[in-house]
Amino acid sequence: MQRVCENDILQSILSKGDIVVETNGRVALVTGAASGIGRDAALRLERDGFTVVGIDVDEAGLKATAAVAARMTWQECDVTSATSVQSAVARVLTDHGRLDSVLNSAGITGPTVPTWDLREEDWARVVAVNLTGTYNVVKAALGPMREAGYGRIVNMASIAGKEGNPNLMAYSATKAGVIGLTKSVAKEVATEGVLANSVAPAVVRTPINEGVDPETQAYMVAKIPMGRLGEVEEVSELISYLASERCSFSTGACFDLSGGRATY
Ligand SMILES: NC(=O)c1ccc[n+]([C@@H]2O[C@H](COP(=O)([O-])OP(=O)(O)OC[C@H]3O[C@@H](n4cnc5c(N)ncnc54)[C@H](O)[C@@H]3O)[C@@H](O)[C@H]2O)c1
């Protein structure tokens, strides 16, 4: 039997197969839980003791994540739809009675093209998923979090939002938007026990980069002083901290995770 998590505020022990996960009594909502960073972070938060609800548009991917999780449940949900997001959050509250932490990891890059070739519909889609989607989830989560006087919001931004990657203008603009959104929200609720931070990784080895052309990928890796891609487990390590009460005096911050690429 493998013991995965030790936690002082142990409330119950649930098991699946030979893995025992001690719960910490807290509930986390993870968007983009079907793939990449969201998938790995959902599993990490569960090992940390959270009861995790994953949401995504990719039902098959959600099922695959849940298949290797101890007790993660999932809901198919498009974060671009405010009503779908509100329903998802309402169901979390009905099923679990609380919402302590949120990770906004759902995201798309859009096409890798110069700005003059970027079609309006591609611009609109990237804005809808990356920026409006984050807004929808943050807004829906703030109600129960403010009422409870506790919350941790973690938003996936990107180094692209700080520096601007050529040929990924919409992506870069939305990630800059996520950094600003997070800073604003954090100040609004700074005295209410609700903390909001963003994470700005350089390129991380996940499926999102499969659609980015090789030249742009090479450009992104060449900018990293460590000379390598990041791994999802390295992102989850930071998310684990930011989504927990261990994070207590940081809010509105944008945390670098870039192998040395970020210089501010
Ligand atoms: N991987 C990287 O290099 C990298 C670097 C910096 C930032 N990020 C950010 O991290 C986050 C996760 O990226 P990833 O690499 O894990 O990508 P990924 O493609 O592996 O996962 C993204 C997930 O978001 C889901 N998604 C897309 N549109 C959605 C929608 N409308 N509603 C709900 N779910 C939707 C996808 O189905 C997918 O499961 C993204 O916000 C991305 O911008 C990634």
Structural domains in the chain, CATH included, are 2-257 (3.40.50.720)
Q: What are phi and psi of 199, to 5 degrees?
A: -125, 130
pLDDT for 215 equals 87
Q: Can you name the residues that pair with 29 across neighbouring β-strands?
A: 53, 102
For the stretch 42-84, pLDDT in tens is 999 999 999 999 999 999 999 999 999 999 999 999 999 999 9
Q: What residues are in contact with ligand 1 under a 6 Å CB criterion?
A: 31-32, 34-38, 56-58, 61, 78-80, 105-108, 129, 133, 156, 158, 201, 203-204, 206-209
Give the mean pLDDT of 125-132: 99
If one residue of 126, 208, 212, 217 were mutated to test the ligand 1 pocket, choosing by the most ligand atoms within 8 A of its CB, it would be 208
Give the mean pLDDT of 209-224: 87
Q: Could you tell me which of 163, 170, 168 has the C-alpha nearest to residue 200? A: 163
Query: How many CB atoms are closer than 10 A to CB 176?
Result: 20
Q: Can you name the residues that pair with 88 across neighbouring β-strands?
A: none
pLDDT for 211 equals 79
The alpha carbon of 37 and the centre of ligand 1 are apart by a number of angstroms equal to 7
Q: What is the largest CA-CA distance in the chain?
A: 57
Q: CB–CB of 258/200 below 8 Å?
A: yes
pLDDT for 66 equals 98
What span, in angstroms and rounded, lies between the C-alpha atoms of 130 and 107? 5
If one residue of 31, 35, 86 were mutated to test the ligand 1 pocket, choosing by the most ligand atoms within 8 A of its CB, it would be 35
The alpha carbon of 96 and the centre of ligand 1 are apart by a number of angstroms equal to 26
Judged against a pLDDT cut of 70, whether residue 16 lies above it is answered with no
If one residue of 37, 103, 131 were mutated to test the ligand 1 pocket, choosing by the most ligand atoms within 8 A of its CB, it would be 37
Two tokens at 113?
Answer: 């093209």
Judged against a pLDDT cut of 50, whether residue 264 lies above it is answered with yes
Judged against a pLDDT cut of 50, whether residue 3 lies above it is answered with no
Catalytic residue of the set 171, 219, 241, 264: 171
pLDDT for 19 equals 56
Has 171 been annotated as catalytic? Answer: yes
Give the mean pLDDT of 185-209: 97
What's the pLDDT band for 258 if we cut at 50, 70, 90?
very high
Out of 5-19, 122-136, 152-166, 171-185, pick the least confident.
5-19
The alpha carbon of 31 and the centre of ligand 1 are apart by a number of angstroms equal to 9
